[in-house]
């Protein structure tokens, strides 16, 4: 069986580690066994759909469709999910402002990938690597050079670092070269971080992803042993359940 590394599963785990290290009451994120959906997740959902909806439109329609209108379609209505009503409106206004600036620079362009799930066999790791690419752009005049973009509601160094290394491994495995550049947006902070593909070491990225995978495997085994009445003896040698890490 070939193990699968799924980017969004690893990202949620890394976010939970950040919450736990900060001593947040949301760490663990569960209520009576049901995972709690945080306001950050709700906002991320609205942002993702707004970007997807915007770049699905033809340029002539984009000119007359403010991204705010698209964001409003799925914006969370329950203000009690946020720390307070002031935070609710501050987050909303920041998302509108940042998305307007970001999308405004590409009104007439179409991405080559828009919220697409791509998979490849990661050479050197013997795993299937699955990544959701929010937007991928070809450079004008140089279609072989691409820009991979990722939009995060909040800055999270662990998540961004993991994404950069997974993209580097993915691009080398699938296309035999690094991506042109990776753009990471932290919307609440109003920051854009650019990583040049040629500045990334493939071996460093392979080592990073491998260590991340090992840590995730260990986390899954620990969860199974905690959940099983017999301490997880029946599953101890099977690794993670398919919904956690994916096995094909």
**In a shared domain, residues 151 and 96:** no
Give the span between the Cα atoms of 4 and 246, in whole angstroms. 5
Same domain assignment for residues 130 and 44: no
Helix axes 85-104, 39-56, angle to 10 degrees: 30
Domain boundary residue among 74, 104, 134?
104
- The 10s digit of each residue's pLDDT in 199-212 is 999 999 999 999 98
The answer as to whether 27 is a domain residue is: no
Residue 221 lies in domain: 1-7+111-248
User: What's the structural domain count of the chain?
Assistant: 2
What is the pLDDT at residue 24? 52
Tokens of 112: 């080559």
Residue whose pair of structure tokens reads 């991979």 in the numeric block:
148
Q: What is d(CA 239, CA 5) in angstroms, rounded to the nearest whole number?
A: 13
Does residue 3 have a pLDDT over 70?
A: yes
Contacts of residue 210, Cβ cutoff 8 Å, sequence gap at least 6? 125
Q: In this predicted model, what pLDDT tens digit does every residue of 70-115 receive, in sequence order?
A: 999 999 999 999 999 999 999 999 999 999 999 999 999 999 999 9
- For residue 152, what are its two tokens? 């995060």
pLDDT in tens, 118-139: 999 997 888 899 999 999 999 8
Query: Is pLDDT of 230 > 80?
Result: no
44 lies in some domain: yes
Is residue 31 in some structural domain? Answer: no
Instruction: Give 2 or 197, the one with higher predicted confidence.
Output: 197
Averaged over 156-176, what is the pLDDT? 96
Is 2 or 184 the better-scoring residue by pLDDT?
Answer: 184
Verify that 197 and 219 share a domain, yes or no: yes
pLDDT at 236: 45
Do 155 and 189 belong together in one domain? yes
Residues 100 and 117 in one domain: no
Higher-pLDDT residue of 152, 30 = 152
pLDDT at 28: 42
For 130, other C-beta atoms within 10 Å of its C-beta total: 19
* Residues 136 and 83 occupy one common structural domain: no
Per-residue model confidence (pLDDT) at position 29 = 47
CA pseudo-torsion sign 64, 68, 71, 73: negative
181 or 32, which is more confident: 181
Residues of the chain with pLDDT > 70, as a percent, come to 84
pLDDT of amino acid 142? 85
Looking at the domain assignment, is residue 91 inside a domain?
A: yes
Q: What is the mean pLDDT of the chain?
A: 86
Q: How far apart are CA 140 and CA 93, in angstroms?
A: 32
């Amino acid at each position: 069986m070939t193990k699968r590394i799924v980017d969004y599963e690893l990202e949620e785990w890394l976010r939970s580690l950040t919450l736990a290290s900060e001593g947040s009451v949301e760490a663990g994120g569960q209520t009576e066994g049901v995972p709690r959906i945080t306001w950050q997740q709700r906002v991320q959902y609205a942002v993702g759909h707004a970007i997807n909806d915007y770049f699905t439109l033809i340029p002539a329609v984009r000119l007359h469709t403010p991204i705010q209108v698209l964001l409003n379609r799925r914006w969370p209505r329950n203000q009690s999910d946020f720390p307070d009503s002031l935070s609710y409106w501050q987050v909303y206004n920041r998302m509108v402002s940042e998305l307007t600036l970001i999308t405004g620079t590409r009104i007439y362009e179409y991405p080559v990938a828009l919220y697409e799930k791509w998979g490849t066999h990661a050479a050197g790791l013997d795993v299937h690597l699955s990544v959701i690419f929010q937007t991928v752009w070809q450079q004008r005049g140089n279609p072989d050079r691409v820009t991979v973009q990722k939009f995060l509601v909040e800055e999270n160094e662990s998540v961004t670092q993991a994404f950069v290394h997974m993209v580097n491994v993915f691009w080398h495995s699938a296309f035999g070269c690094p991506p042109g550049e990776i753009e990471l947006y932290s919307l609440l902070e109003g920051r854009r971080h650019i990583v040049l593909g040629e500045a990334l070491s493939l071996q460093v990225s392979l080592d990073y992803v491998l260590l991340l995978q090992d840590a995730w495997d260990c986390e899954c085994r620990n969860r199974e042993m905690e959940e099983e009445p017999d301490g997880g003896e029946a599953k101890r040698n099977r690794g993670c359940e398919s919904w956690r890490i994916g096995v094909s």
